[in-house]
Amino acid sequence: MKTIRYTKMDKQEIINILMTGGILAFPTDTVFGLACAMDQDAIRKVYKAKGRDFRKPLPVMCDGPEMIRRIAIVSDKAERIVERFMPGALTMVFPKREEVDDVFTQGMDTIGIRVPDDPWILDLIRELDTPIMVTSANISGNGSLLKWEDVYACMHGKINGIVTEDARGEQASTIIDVTSNEIKALREGPISIEEIKEAIE
């Protein structure tokens, strides 16, 4: 597979890759991401490129609260967190809606969602009018990557394209579980669990 280098000006070509089941890497407000459409074949390509355990579901990016509610069940408490911290470096694990096929969550009844603080990605999702699957663009087990050259070095020949610009963050997003009344921290990141709890008390 030839990995084509793109800039953010090549949005239509990037949209075409996603719409036709391809995968590509692009910078986010946290670390570099590896993206595909919510398509079973494309998801398999992401797992293969990363060497990721198929039992671990991929997180999803949405453009805002309305799109989140299309695929997730959002409690009142979770809604307040979304309003306060999204867009931002926070991934929230929600109960998924029944209409979301289990293939997209590896059989789990939950789904991890983030709204990135990146206008270019948000515009991309809006133009697609559908959530996209986005995980860190690195080999599983290795650290997250920030520079496009590093991503290209490990993903060249495994993905369809890469956007040649560096990520803006320094670490992957915080992950919290909001499937119950108690907020659970699954991964520490730029936003602390204490900050989240304080914001909604």
* Block mean pLDDT (10 aa), the chain, length 201: 97 97 98 97 97 95 98 96 97 97 96 98 97 97 96 97 97 97 94 91 77
Q: What pLDDT does residue 169 have?
A: 95
Q: What pLDDT does residue 155 have?
A: 97
- Contact at 8 Å (CB) between 72 and 94? yes
Rounded Cα distance, 57 and 100, in Å:
13
User: Please, is 92 exposed, middle or buried when counting C-beta atoms within 10 Å of its C-beta (0-12, 13-18, 19+)?
Assistant: buried
- For residue 132, what are the domain limits? 4-200
Q: Which residues contact 108 (CB under 8 A, 6 or more apart)?
A: 57, 96, 102
- Contact at 8 Å (CB) between 56 and 175? no
Identify whether 119 is preceded by a cis peptide bond (ω within 30 of 0).
no
Where helices occur in 97-147 by DSSP H, the ranges are 119-128
3-state secondary structure of 34: strand
CA angle 102, 105, 111 (to 5 degrees): 120
Q: What pLDDT does residue 69 have?
A: 98
Q: What pLDDT does residue 200 have?
A: 83
Q: What pLDDT does residue 63 have?
A: 98
Rounded Cα distance, 99 and 83, in Å:
24
Q: What pLDDT does residue 201 have?
A: 77
Per the structure, how many domains does the chain have? Answer: 1
- What is the CB neighbour count within 10 angstroms for residue 52? 19
CATH number for 96: 3.90.870.10
